[in-house]
Structures are given as C-alpha cells and as structure tokens.
C-alpha cells in the first residue's frame, strides 16, 4: 500500500530544493489518487458482498442452478502456465571419516563415477531441476548437478504424453528404469550415502543417452515393462565410438496394494553392455597401484522389492518402508594389466581372458515413528564371487572377502521441503579396515519440488 504522507515526506527530505508549489501539486495529485482508489475499493467490496450473499440467500432451483451458480471455469492448476516448474536442491554434510588414501570396495573394480564423501564439512551436489509440458504431445525434464567448476547433466529428456494405450517413449539422457533406487537422485535417498551395491555396479546410478519405451498394462495389478537402448558410455560400459546401441536394458515391475495399509512393488531388470579399454586402477599383489584395461561384455541381473506400510494408508503420522535389491553381474573379456614394474609393481603388460561373476545386495528399513522423525537401518553385503584373471592371476589379487556395512540413521524433517539427518555406519567394504563413519547432512528443496515416486 502506498503511504502518501510518508512518500511525500521522503520526497521532501530527499529533494529539499523542491519548491512548496511543487509539493502542493504533488500532494493534491496523491490525494486525488487516494480518493479515487478508495472509491474503487469500496465499489469492489460492495460487489463482493453482493456476490457472497447471493448464492447463500437463495439456493437456485435445481435445473437452473448450473446456469446461475456456476462461475466461469478457472484455469486448471496441474501445470504452471507457461513457466517450467523449477526447483533447487541444496545439500551439504559434515562427515567424520578415517584418513584413507584409496577408497575402494575390495574385490570390485572401482566404478567410474564414484563420488566419495570428503572429510569434514563439504557441499554436496546442488541440483537444479526444471520440468514442463512442451506441447500437448511431449513433456520435458532436466536435472543439473552443480559442484565447483563442474556442471553435469544428470538428466535431460523429453517424454511423450499423447501416445496412449499405456505407452510412453522417452528420449535423451535419463536414469535407467532398472532396479528400484536407480531413478532416485541422491536427495531422495533414505541414507546419507549410496548403498554398496549401486556403488559397485554403477558408481552412483546407471544413466544413459538413448531411448526408453515403457508400457503399463491395463490391469488392476500394476504391470510395467520397459526396454532401453542407449549409448552405454557409463560404467560398466565405455564409450565405443560406434553406430547402433551400446547398451540395452530390459525391466519389468509388478505392484499393488494389500488391504488399505500395505503396498508393494517388485521387479526384475537386465542390463547388457560392452566395454572397450575400460580403465580401472586397483592394487596388485605387490600392493602397488596398477592400471587395468578391460574389453568385453558386462551383463547384470537385478531383482528389487519394496514394501510400504502406513496405518489406514495415512502416512502422515507413522509409516514404514522396506526396500531390498539384489544383483548378479557377469563380465567376460580381456584384461590388460599395464606394466608397473618401474614402481615396484607386479604387472608386465600381459593381456589375458578375464571372467568374473559377482553379486551383492542391500536391505533397508525406514520407520517414521512420529510426525517429522524417521529412523532407518541398512545392511550392505557384496560377494566378490568367482574372479579369474587368467595369466594375470600371477599379478593381481583374487579375494573371497565379502564387503559389508551396517548403517543407522535418524532424520528430522521440519516440513516436506527440509530435512536434517544423522547417520552412523560401520563400514567394512575394504578388507582389514573397519571404519566408523559419522554423517550430519541437510537436504533442502526450494521452489516447486515435484512429486517423489513410490
């Protein structure tokens, strides 16, 4: 609201040179404005009162009701007019960790995009998300992960909305629909760090540039089937400069409710890709870092199961969520261990067949015991499985160590847009290291934050 007197006073103070005559003119003008506005407000108020009184006093007879009572339809609110929905996710943490030089998971090749937490205070990726309908036929989505001097396009895709018959086609860069956690960005995780299974499989999650076709069956039982073909440039594959598809993914999910309080989803997924000179650094038998190059096929099966409970289906007060996933991966091809004898290493540039079958799982439960407060426990276990380096068995370690980790978390969400989390983990993902890890984390989201999936 304008405060004419204040404004005039301020103006007078600011421009002492202004003549009295000018001031008087200004005053008169403002007074006129004020009275004209007051008159308009009064007339609006009167009209509002009339409008409110009308339907209340005389409920219109039945058949004329729609004509007299129904107001002009207001715009639908599902979209945000022409502006994309924009949200920004702020994440940061304090981590209390041991000083370990080469963090890795014993028995597994480090996956390319492995984001290891820093000791002490640190900022995690800041996510910028935009989404909107493109036209009546397509919608679009983008997710950028920002870190110092680094912007990565996590997702940028379009999706059809008009195909119908349960079909949707997605194109661009997207997180694959395989498994359960894969489509979740870090801010939606229930724990401060990634589970060991996804760290071993993909680093963070399996993203791809390509196409996804998905079909939902017209049944009461939820049935969803999807197929993806993509570039396959990310771990466990590599960019191979070729036409055609570098990786294929198939997945199927079933889901439903049991009574009003329980719901579930289960699925099976398959990923097939190839690598060419995939570069990984591991410690050789002399405990010296060795560079290995793998060329061959990588195939993984993933099974996932999620079960949720909320009394009467009302998750506001209390709810419980259980999620578990299992994987089995077979890699078959040639491995070159680059000569590192100069550094005292064991490798001698030998190339031979590499064959490995490895597996692992995680299981986690998260319980909201009262509004705003949740606690959760997660168990990780990987199985190094059978690994055969061929000739390189003489230079590279083969282990039967099973990496495990226990994690316990407590989080507090003042609203659905802010969350603080405390987590303790006992990490035995590296042989002969038992590390106690503490995390304090915040996750805040600004703007029109989209809905989270099941």
Partner 1 sequence: MKQFFAAVLLWLPLSVHAALNVFACEPEWGALAREIGGDDVKVYNATTAMQDPHRIEARPSLIAQTRRAGLLVCTGADLEVGWLPLLLRESGNAAVQPGRPGYFEAARHVPMLDKPARVDRSQGDVHAAGNPHIQTDPRNLARVGAALAQRLSEVDPAHAAAYQARWKDFSSRWETAITRWQQQAAPLKGMPVAVQHKSFSYLINWLGLREVATLEPKPGVEPSLGYLAEVAARLKTSPAKMVLRAAYQSPRASEWLAERADIPAVALPFTVGGAPGTDDLFGLFDVTLAELLKGAK
CB of 10 to partner 1, least distance (A): 24
The rounded radius of gyration (Å) of the Cα atoms in the chain is: 30
Q: Which is nearer to partner 1, 284 or 411 (CB)?
A: 411
Query: How many angstroms separate the most distant Cα atoms in the chain?
Result: 101
Residue recorded with tokens 């190839």: 274
Q: Which is nearer to partner 1, 3 or 452 (CB)?
A: 452
C-alpha angle 71/76/78, rounded to 5°? Answer: 155
CB of 224 to partner 1, least distance (A): 8
Q: What is the DSSP string of 115-155?
A: -PPPSEEEE-PEEEEEEEEEETTEEEEEEEEEETTEEEEEE
CB of 48 to partner 1, least distance (A): 10
User: 188, 186, 177: which is closest to 215 by C-alpha?
Assistant: 177
CB of 338 to partner 1, least distance (A): 42
Q: Which is nearer to partner 1, 144 or 216 (CB)?
A: 216
**How far, in Å, CA of 332 to CA of 169, rounded?**
32
Q: Which is nearer to partner 1, 9 or 188 (CB)?
A: 188
CB of 257 to partner 1, least distance (A): 4
CB of 297 to partner 1, least distance (A): 21
- Quick check: 364 and 335 in contact, CB under 8 A? no
Q: Which is nearer to partner 1, 31 or 372 (CB)?
A: 372
**First vs last C-alpha separation in the chain:** 46
Q: Which is nearer to partner 1, 165 or 243 (CB)?
A: 165
CB of 225 to partner 1, least distance (A): 8
Q: Which is nearer to partner 1, 282 or 323 (CB)?
A: 323
Q: Which residues contact 243 (CB under 8 A, 6 or more apart)?
A: none
**How far, in Å, CA of 105 to CA of 384, rounded?**
10
């Amino acid at each position: 609201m304008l405060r004419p007197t204040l404004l005039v006073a301020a103006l007078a103070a600011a421009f002492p040179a202004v003549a009295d005559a000018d001031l008087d003119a200004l005053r008169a003008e403002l007074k006129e404005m004020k009275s004209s506005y007051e008159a308009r407000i009064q007339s609006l108020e009167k009209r509002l009162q009339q409008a409110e009184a009308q339907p209340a006093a005389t409920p219109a007879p039945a058949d004329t009701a729609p004509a007299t009572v129904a107001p002009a339809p207001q715009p639908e609110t599902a979209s945000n007019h022409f502006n994309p929905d924009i949200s920004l996710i702020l994440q940061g943490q304090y981590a209390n960790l041991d000083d370990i030089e080469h963090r890795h998971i014993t028995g597994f090749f480090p996956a390319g995009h492995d984001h290891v937490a820093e000791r002490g205070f640190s900022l995690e990726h800041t996510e910028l998300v935009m989404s909107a309908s493109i036209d009546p036929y397509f919608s679009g989505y983008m997710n950028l992960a920002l870190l110092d001097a680094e912007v990565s396009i996590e997702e940028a895709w379009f999706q059809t909305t008009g195909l119908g018959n349960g079909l949707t086609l997605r194109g661009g860069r997207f997180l694959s629909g395989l498994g359960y956690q894969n489509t979740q960005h870090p801010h939606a995780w229930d724990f401060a760090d990634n589970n060991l299974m996804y760290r071993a499989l993909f680093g963070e999650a399996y993203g791809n540039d390509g196409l996804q076709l998905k079909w939902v069956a017209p049944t009461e039982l939820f049935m969803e089937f999807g197929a993806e073909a993509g570039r396959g440039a990310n771990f466990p594959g590599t960019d191979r400069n070729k036409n055609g598809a570098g990786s294929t993914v198939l997945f199927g999910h079933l889901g439903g409710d049991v009574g009003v309080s329980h719901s579930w989803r289960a699925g099976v997924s398959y990923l097939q890709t190839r690598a060419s000179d995939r570069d990984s650094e591991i410690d050789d038998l002399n405990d010296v870092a060795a560079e290995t190059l793998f060329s061959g096929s990588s195939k993984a099966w993933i099974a996932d199961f999620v079960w949720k409970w909320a009394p009467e289906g009302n998750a506001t007060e209390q709810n419980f969520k259980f999620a578990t996933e299992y994987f089995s991966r077979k890699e078959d091809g040639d491995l070159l261990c680059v000569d590192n004898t100069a550094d005292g290493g064991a490798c001698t540039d030998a190339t031979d067949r590499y064959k490995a079958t490895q597996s692992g799982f995680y299981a986690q439960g998260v319980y909201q015991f009262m509004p705003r407060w949740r606690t959760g426990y997660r168990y990780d276990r990987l199985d190094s499985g059978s690994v055969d380096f061929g000739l390189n068995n003489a230079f590279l370690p083969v282990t039967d160590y099973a990496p495990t980790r226990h994690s316990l978390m407590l989080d507090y969400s003042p609203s659905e847009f802010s969350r603080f989390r405390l987590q303790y983990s006992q990490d035995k993902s590296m042989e002969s290291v038992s590390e106690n890890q503490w995390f304090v984390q915040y996750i805040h989201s600004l703007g029109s934050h989209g809905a989270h999936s099941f």
